[in-house]
Amino acid sequence: MAKAGPISRAIVAMTGVMPRWFVRYISRRYVAGSTLDDAVRVMHRLSEQGACFTIDVLGEEITTLDEATYFLEEYRRVMAQILEHGFDANLSIKPTAFGLLIDETVGLENIRTLVREAAEHDMFVRLDMEDHRVTDATIDVVLTLHAEGLVNVGTVLQGRLHRTLDDIDRMAGAIGVGADHRICKGIYLEPESIAHTSRQAITDATVASVVRGLEQGAYIGIASHDDAVIDASLAALKQGGWTPGEDVDPRQPSPPERLGKGPGYEFQMLLGVRGPLRRGLRAQGHRTRVYIPYGEKWYEYSIRRLKENPTVATQVAKAFLMPWTNRP
């Protein structure tokens, strides 16, 4: 496991006794709210900063397939609001919220239904990557839907996993330049047998994944707040011939244009984290996307992020104690 500092460990140790109001106070920076109206208000505000969005309805790993109906209907409401307000936004979904861990066939059909309806509105759907139990199943969903002609779907790949470079190559071989990955370090703390566990190794592996994806012609969402990852990604883009602000993908043959996407890449950040950095990248001409989570499960989401990755607590502590250093 990556080591967390004493402040991070102390915050995680207190999660079981934190008053709900205190967790909500902290989380309001990172979660739009409990309702879709809350998410709409946040998107209106950040649209003025030139950001685009990916919307996540909080909740995952349902216990009965009937629960998947709620998520399908709620994402239909999300699509309707995106269209009504003209937001530059797409969808992020948890495959387990659609039943993938209970019944892969039913889960696939639920995801297929949403992706097909999103395609009717030229809207992209991102399958968030959960823990290693569903890595293969999540990738298989993407490959299956692309084979059926539903190409408005991609997934998240976690740099910390040993397998990620192979997954990038495998998807490139199957769907070519239709591949669309969000590359992140990954929040799930997996065992050493399948994942890098030191900070430097995770950083290096994440950068390697960004570079490999770009080399393979995939569209890459660089999802990181880490200066080392961002600086290395900027260097790779410069070396590859990208010019910020120009909507031209220099790779040959040129990958297809994607509606609502940049010229082969974009930077993605969590709501409430490193706003000045995001705005700086946008000012340089880079496309920036903000991950907007909302829903009744805001408390569970907040506590889970702290427990699963204690280093997140450092950002929380800094934002709480020194809010002037991290204006949204």
Mean pLDDT of 152-180: 97
pLDDT tens digits, 81-127: 999 999 999 999 999 999 999 999 999 999 999 999 999 999 999 99
pLDDT tens digits, 233-286: 999 999 999 999 898 999 988 888 888 898 999 999 999 888 899 999 999 999
CATH number of 32-294: 3.20.20.220
d(C-alpha 55, C-alpha 89), whole Å: 7
Backbone angles phi, psi at 205, to 5 degrees: -70, -35
1, 307 Cβ separation under 8 angstroms: no
d(C-alpha 197, C-alpha 194), whole Å: 9
SS3 per-residue string spanning the chain: CCCCCHHHHHHHHCCCCCCHHHHHHHHCCCCCCCCHHHHHHHHHHHHCCCCEEEEEECCCCCCCCCHHHHHHHHHHHHHHHHHHHCCCEEEEECHHHHCCCCCHHHHHHHHHHHHHHHHCCCCCEEECCCCHHHHHHHHHHHHHHHHCCCCCEEEEEECCECCHHHHHHHHHHHHHHHCEEEEECCCCCCCCCCECCCHHHHHHHHHHHHHHHHHCCCEEEEECCCHHHHHHHHHHHHHHCCCCCCCCCCCCCCCCCCCCCCCCEEEEEECCCCHHHHHHHHHCCCCEEEEEEECCCHHHHHHHHHHHCCCHHHHHHHHHHCHHHCCC
d(C-alpha 224, C-alpha 184), whole Å: 6
d(C-alpha 62, C-alpha 52), whole Å: 29
Which of 49-53, 227-231, 315-319 has the weakest average pLDDT?
315-319
Q: Which residue has the tokens 């903000």?
A: 290
pLDDT of residue 165: 98
Backbone angles phi, psi at 109, to 5 degrees: -65, -40
Q: Above 60 in pLDDT, residue 313?
A: no
pLDDT of residue 296: 80
Copy the structure tokens of residue 50.
């030139």
Average pLDDT, the chain: 88
Sign of CA dihedral 207, 211, 213, 218: positive
55, 89 Cβ separation under 8 angstroms: yes
186, 229 Cβ separation under 8 angstroms: no
In sequence order, which residues have a C-beta less than 8 Å from that of residue 257 and are 6 or more positions away? Answer: none
319, 29 Cβ separation under 8 angstroms: yes
pLDDT tens digits, 5-43: 565 556 555 555 665 656 665 666 788 988 999 999 999
pLDDT tens digits, 71-82: 999 999 999 999
Tell me, rounded to whole angstroms, the distance of Cα 148 from its chain centroid: 24
Where are the chain's structural domains? 32-294
What single-letter amino acid sits at 139? I
